[in-house]
A = this chain, B = another copy of it.
Amino acid sequence: MTTEPRWRRLGPDQRREEIFASAQRLFALRPYRDVSTADIAADAGVARGLLNHYFGTKRDLYLEVVREAASVPENVIDHAPGGTLEERIDAAVTWFLDSLSGQDAAWISAAGSSGLGRDPELERILLKAEDDAVDRVLETIDMADVTDHRDELRAFVRAYGQLAKTAGREWLIKKQLSREQVHLLLRQSLLTIVEDVLPEAIARDRA
């Protein structure tokens, strides 16, 4: 008679994956403070101590989940570098909105949290993700002719990204705007920034 094993022994990667999945689920469901390591462990069908073994602390696990969720989907854009500026901007906006609707409700909304007691590490992760998105946009609209003052352009687009994210939320979550309206807003805003604000800002030079 072979005795039934009391628990299955898995390879490190697989077990790690299971725990991570449970963490993802629960952190998407409730705020951080309302998810105990015991909850995650129970959900993964595992002893609590194992979390600390695979990921360090509860916080480390959380940051990893956030990093994953915040990462920009690798959707390759239909890079049509040949079009007019407006066409390129349209492509960038379309890409952005698509990548938003692709993510489910547990998507990352805004980067900042509050300035009070803000968490530097968490902030770093979210800003990094934001910067990646900015890169994607810049790459798509292809502002190769702007050789100087790239920093200003980046700063403008970074701010623009917040507008885009919020507008996306007005569409997806609050249902206050239609996709067309959001698209319109994003296109015109970006157009204004690139065609109008940036040249003028360059003219006045940097402070």
Interface, chain A (partner B; CB < 8 A): 27-28, 30-35, 59, 62, 65-66, 69-70, 105-120, 122, 126, 151-152, 154-156, 158-167, 170, 174, 176-181, 184-185, 188-189, 191-193, 196-197, 200-201, 204, 206-207
Contact = CB atoms under 8 A, between A and B. Distances in A.
A181 B166 contact: no
B176 A151 contact: yes
B159 A185 contact: yes
A121 B102 CA distance: 27
Contacts of A206: 177-178, 181
A89 to B, nearest CB: 13
Given A152-B181, A163-B163, A28 B116 contact: yes
A201 to B, nearest CB: 5
**3 smallest beta-carbon distances between A and B, as pairs:** A110-B112, A178-B207, A162-B162
Contact of A32 (B70, B117, B189, B197): B117
Given A108-B114, A177-B201, A192-B192, 11 more contacts: A28-B115, A28-B116, A32-B117, A35-B117, A108-B115, A108-B116, A111-B112, A114-B122, A151-B176, A184-B200, A185-B197
B27 A117 contact: yes
11 contacts: A28-B117, A31-B117, A32-B119, A69-B114, A112-B112, A112-B113, A159-B166, A159-B167, A161-B166, A181-B206, A191-B192
